[in-house]
Amino acid sequence: MLASRPIKAMALRRMYSIHSSSKQKTIPDIFKKYHAKEPISMITAYDYITATWAHAAHTDMILVGDSLAMSTLGHVSTVDLDLQEFQYHVRSVCRAPGSSFIIADMPYGSFERSIEQGVETAISLMKTSSRVGAVKLEVGAEENDYCLELAAELCRRGIPVMGHVGLTPQRMHALGGYKVQGAKDLGQALAAYHRAKDLQAAGCFSIVIECIPTKLAGIITEKLSIPTIGIGAGPQTSGQVLVQSDLLGMLPGKAPKFVQKYADFHGDAIGSLCSYVEDVRQGVFPKVGQHTFTVSEELLEEFSKQVD
């Protein structure tokens, strides 16, 4: 019995050492950049491949966004995505190696019924993988918005929350579509500011500001003591996020005004696939020797005898 104690102690030390050597970014790492006034980067990812690219680009944060409903799964809206389908993609993203901090959206329909449902969903998302570091929650413009209470409850339970104000796609019907918020309506502008302050008071570690005029987003950022991540909110926020399929040009059609396209994956992919199809038709792919494997003459001769 005495001899086993050192072995157990060594095993515990090894496990602790392995756990503590993880290089995945944490919330304190994000705040370190924030306090140093270094811009924070965030990119969406929806599967192992896109997550691998995001990690390799050394983005600070990866958002497994419910935007995958439209950009990856062909739905017409983010509200069409259910929790189980979403968690499948969260697991895939979390399998990709890399150091970026990972945040998972809370899909529409997975938290609205009650605080209990919202807490259960958040716990389920955090347990999807140990690499999920936080959840993101969209919050409406109303002073008594239910999601403010939910955000506070999640933070009280030790679940890190990133808030989301301004244009909230899950509420597009209430907002009258995907529209800039606060450009011509003082009430909208003040609502975005007050909800951001409310989310900070609730304990959120960061807030996404979507489709808010640049100068308004800058003032909101200045008035907060937590990082803001802008999308369609200009350069005065603490950081930026873009949908990966938008910035890589994965889909046809015009990208939103606030998107910078850094590639044309859609055009390049179709061109490459057309070249493959034509090579097959012309009989130039595959090439013997370049794309094929050999067999010994003895085995080939014996094989021929057996099949004959």
Give the C-alpha separation, 80 to 108, whole Å: 8
Q: Which of 112, 138, 210, 301 is catalytic?
A: 210
Distance CA 208, CA 181 (A): 13
Residue recorded with tokens 């306090």: 35
Match 């010994």 to its residue by tokens. 296
- Largest CA-CA distance found in the chain, in angstroms, rounded: 86
64, containing H or E segment:
strand 61-64
Contacts of 191 (CB under 8 A, 6+ apart): 141, 142, 182
Q: Is 210 designated active site?
A: yes
**Pseudo-torsion of CA 214, 215, 221, 224, nearest 10°?**
-150
- Alpha carbon 112 to its chain's center: 21
In the chain, what is the straight-line distance between the N-terminal and C-terminal CA atoms, in Å?
69
Q: Which residues are catalytic?
A: 210
